[in-house]
Amino acid sequence: MYFYQKSVEETLVELKSSRHGISLEEARRRLAENGPNELQEKKRKPLIAMFLEQFSDFMILVLLAAAVISGLIGEFSDTVAIMVIVVLNAALGFTQEYRAEKAMEALKNMAAVRAAVLRDGVPLVIPASELVPGDLVLIDAGMVVPADLRVLESVRLTVEEAALTGEAAPMEKNIDRLPDAALPLGDRKNMLYKGTFATYGRGRGIVTATGMNTELGRIATMIQAGEEAKTPLQKRLAHFGQHIAIAILFICAAIFFMGLLRGESAVNIFLVAVSLAVAAIPEALPAVVTIALALGARKMVNRNALVRKLPAVEALGSVTYICTDKTGTLTLNKMTVEELFVDGALLRNEKSNNLSNLQSLFFTALALSNDASKDNKGHCLGDPTEAALLTAAHERGFEKQVLERIHPRVAEVPFDSARKLMTTIHDRAGSGGQDSGSSLKGNYVSFTKGALEALLETTDKLLTSEGPKPVDRESILLIHDRMAAEGLRVIGIAMRVWDRIPDANPPIVESNLTLLGLAGMLDPPREEAKQAVAECRAAGITPVMITGDHPLTARVIARRVGILEVDDPGAVITGKELEAMPRDEFEQRVESIRVYARVAPEQKLKIVRALQDKGHFVAMTGDGVNDAPALKRADIGVAMGITGTDVAKEASSMILLDDNFATIVKAVREGRKIYDNIRKVVKYLLSSNSGEIWTLCLAPFLGLPIPLQPIHILWINLVTDGLPALALSLEPEEGDVMNRPPRSPQESIFARGLGGYTVWVGLLMAVVTLSVQAWAIHIGDAHWQTMVFTTLCLLELGNVMAIRSERESLFTQGILSNKALLFTVGATIALQLMTVYVPALNPVFRTQPLSAFELLIAFVLSSIVFFSVELEKLIQRLQKTA
Ligand code: ATP
């Protein structure tokens, strides 16, 4: 028998559970027995495979073959040196890749889904992977169903099951048993399935299956997790790498044949050509990007930005619009009731003991029509709007718990942001069918509260001390506007009495209501929001507010945080106006709009589309189920970590752990820095490779012998290029990161002078190196090759110091501001000197000790590149200020 054929009681018995859930002890036991509630993923690559993969590059294999050949012909020191360098190279690549993978894994674990359960009757939030059969799970709108569940309770709980059944229309769930033995998944109305999600209402269910035993687990083999999406930069670099590889192979072939023609030893010239190919082909560039992005993402968590999709890190630097929610993002989401309108008077929210009957009824309504609760320490739990109202009532002695005993809730219509209303229905038997404030009689009472415009549409009377009177909408709206103009969120509350429990259907219960009063709540802006908005402006990013709140409230808050600079009436628009506006007209206006008020989440999609059509790169925040399409469509979907639903999180590429707008701006700053640093690493590696190629290519044309030995080339590639490049990715941000416009997402890697730099700096290095070679040979210096080797190495170190900033001089930037780089440069110089001066290393590196004068020449000449680049930057700065 299937669980859907059983009654709730039978299910509880079979699963040895109860309406309080199972005990912690039992949960632990069952977890050990059943294993974690996880789908088996593809097997991870074993570490050894990851290490061996480092050797799988074609050019490395050729090099290894060449090493073996030189061994066979008796050049053992070459063989050993090449082997050592190749292994070191692999070890370096492996550690980097391993660190990046660990970083991504840690991020994935942080973003994992959590589940709310009852254990021993106590509500707990646990990682969804720890669920066991028999666990009692609480489900709310927006949550992903974490395991297969038999429904125990459903308050209009509605679930979208497209992932399993293909049926996109959400289905309402209930608890009734279904006797039919062969029901398809889509008809099992009393079951919830892992991987589907609740779109509306709330409920409880008992876990019937976890992990691979769930319906999702059964089909899990069909939904193998896809490959991580490549970032645009990774794609471009991979593409570029292929082209450059072919070019370099041609160059190396040319060097080989020219060497042969000039009568060089075939083995040696072959090794030179292969070493150059290994050194110059930038096959590691895409990996450099992945590692920099992954480690950057790992760091961003410390600043409360949790990246779910790696391409987002890179994309952050291109954002031109940030569309943000108001509540909780720009504001603290800590609401307090400031003003009340009840019994014909507008009053500040101050404690007073003599409440009129009508005021008492008003506070009773606030307490009862409320989903927040107080814990035993007196802290409010639940939605801040609800909590504020609960507190206001509580402070005057209207305690929800006490009142609920007299007027138990018998039915409800949950809040949703499209209706902007919620309703609760209560039994009045406990008070003899009447309450203190109203003369209205009936066995049941419903309270409806929400946005005033929505409420007024269903309200025809106002309750006064003389009883209900026809409501004067104009004057109520005037009072509302006065409160909203102070930045308050205004909620109206209304009631209706019934003889029988009404159908909990909005058109029925939310009709012919009688207004009780208004409550205005203040939600102060976050202190850091204003600064963050200003930072956006300076960085060429336009912040836009999208809120469900009233336009007046939204406008005031937007002014306070600086999103609205001037009181331009055209800059604020409501959801209704947006709805009515044709697409063309909206696209014309979209760039001048700063505040969208009373917007339904579905409309966010229209806003993203219009901005993207205008060529903008949009970051969009969201928290609810209905935000998911806009989050997916945005260039960077940003979900709220605290208030966000699972659905919003799964649709997003980044999660704000603190829900704070300022965190988005910090993430943009970090993203720009990471991109800058990737660019610097690419610039360094390419210009260094270019220097090596030019040197080896041009030498024969100048009638010079091969300037470098294979081991020199490999050494320069591994040590001189590799180590400083690592440290370059730790470069602190440049002074102007947030004072320049966003980078175009289409920008090529060679943009902003990088291509030209690679060519001219490479050429300059070759000129210096070959001059040293020509001069040394000319004066009959026997150490010329060691001088060439040392000069080229030092030239590259000068290059890395100059590359640290794209615009600033090293001296204003501060030589000490990247200590890791300074350390690697020092270490590289020391290593280089060891290859020259440690006698045991001389035969391995084919070097001879240099005299002090020779070393001085190498040092002095190698500073040429550094000073030339600094000069170029100086000229650019002067041109800019002129
Ligand atoms: P933002 O979009 O700025 O984050 P929000 O998401 O809080 O705002 P909604 O939750 O959609 O906006 O609320 C829109 C309106 O619905 C509010 O302005 C308020 O009038 C009303 N409202 C909000 N919460 C409740 C509630 N718990 N009960 C009744 N009405 C509510």
Whole-number percent of the chain with pLDDT over 90: 63
Burial class (CB in 10 A: 0-12, 13-18, 19+), 223: exposed
Nearest residue CA, atom 5 of ligand 1?
548
822 versus 78: the higher-pLDDT residue is: 822
Q: Which among 135, 325, 523, 659 is annotated as catalytic?
A: 325
Summarised one tens digit per residue, pLDDT across range 696-729 is 989 988 989 999 988 999 899 888 888 898 899 8
Strands 148-160 and 197-209: antiparallel
Among 159-168, 297-306, 625-634, 687-696, where is mean pLDDT lowest? 159-168
Q: What is the mean pLDDT of residues 825-850?
A: 94
Q: Which residues contact 104 (CB under 8 A, 6 or more apart)?
A: 294, 297, 298, 310
Q: Average model confidence (pLDDT) for the chain?
A: 90
Amino acid residing at 289 = V
Active site residue 658: no
Structure tokens at 778: 């000319």
CA gap 254, 260 in Å, rounded: 10
Q: Which of 814, 529, 524 is nearest to 665 (CA)?
A: 529
Amino acid residing at 433 = G
Residue with tokens 């799988």: 56
Q: Does the pLDDT value for residue 226 go beyond 60? A: no
CA gap 82, 66 in Å, rounded: 9
Q: Which of 683, 590, 639, 845 is nearest to 80 (CA)?
A: 845
Q: Could you give the C-alpha distances from 192 to 150, 166, 172, 206, 528, in angstroms and in order?
A: 6, 15, 11, 9, 42
Structure tokens at 204: 């409880």
CA gap 598, 466 in Å, rounded: 34
Among 69-83, 110-124, 300-314, 868-882, where is mean pLDDT lowest? 69-83
What end-to-end distance do the CA atoms of the chain give, in Å?
84
User: With bands split at pLDDT 50, 70 and 90, how would you rate the model's confidence at 437?
Assistant: low
Amino acid residing at 594 = R
Q: Of 420, 446, 645, which is best to mutate to test ligand 1, by the most ligand atoms within 8 angstroms of its C-beta?
A: 420
- At 220 the pLDDT is 67
Summarised one tens digit per residue, pLDDT across range 499-512 is 999 998 999 999 99
Cα 288 to ligand 1 centre (Å): 45
User: With bands split at pLDDT 50, 70 and 90, how would you rate the model's confidence at 166?
Assistant: confident
User: With bands split at pLDDT 50, 70 and 90, how would you rate the model's confidence at 100?
Assistant: confident
Which ligand 1 atom sits closest to the C-alpha of 386?
27
User: With bands split at pLDDT 50, 70 and 90, how would you rate the model's confidence at 377?
Assistant: confident
Q: Does the pLDDT value for residue 375 go beyond 80? A: no
Q: At what angle do helices 527-538 and 661-701 cross, to 10 degrees?
A: 30
CA gap 766, 427 in Å, rounded: 90
Q: Of 385, 422, 660, which is best to mutate to test ligand 1, by the most ligand atoms within 8 angstroms of its C-beta?
A: 385
Structure tokens at 480: 């509302």
156-194 as b/e, with b when 16 or more CB fall inside 10 Å?
bbbbbbebbbeeeebbebebeebeeeeeeeeebbbbbbb
CB 607 within 8 A of CB 546: yes
User: With bands split at pLDDT 50, 70 and 90, how would you rate the model's confidence at 224?
Assistant: very low
Q: Does the pLDDT value for residue 763 go beyond 80? A: yes
Specify whether the backbone of 343 is left (phi greater than 0), alpha (psi in -120 to 50) or beta: left
Cα 419 to ligand 1 centre (Å): 10
Q: Does the pLDDT value for residue 332 go beyond 50? A: yes
Instruction: With residue 757 as reference, give the H or E element that holds it.
Output: helix 754-778
DSSP classification of residue 473: H
Residues framing ligand 1 (Cβ under 6 A): 325-327, 383, 385-386, 415, 417, 420, 422, 449-451, 489, 491, 547-549
CA gap 588, 610 in Å, rounded: 9
Q: What is the mean pLDDT of residues 365-388?
A: 88
What radius of gyration do the chain's Cα atoms show? 35
Cα 622 to ligand 1 centre (Å): 13
Q: What is the mean pLDDT of residues 319-326?
A: 96
CA gap 693, 166 in Å, rounded: 57
Q: Which residues contact 798 (CB under 8 A, 6 or more apart)?
A: 862, 863, 864, 865, 866
Summarised one tens digit per residue, pLDDT across range 545-575 is 999 999 999 999 999 999 998 878 889 999 9
CB 587 within 8 A of CB 614: yes
Q: Could you give the C-alpha distances from 539 to 672, 740, 765, in angstroms and in order?
A: 10, 5, 36
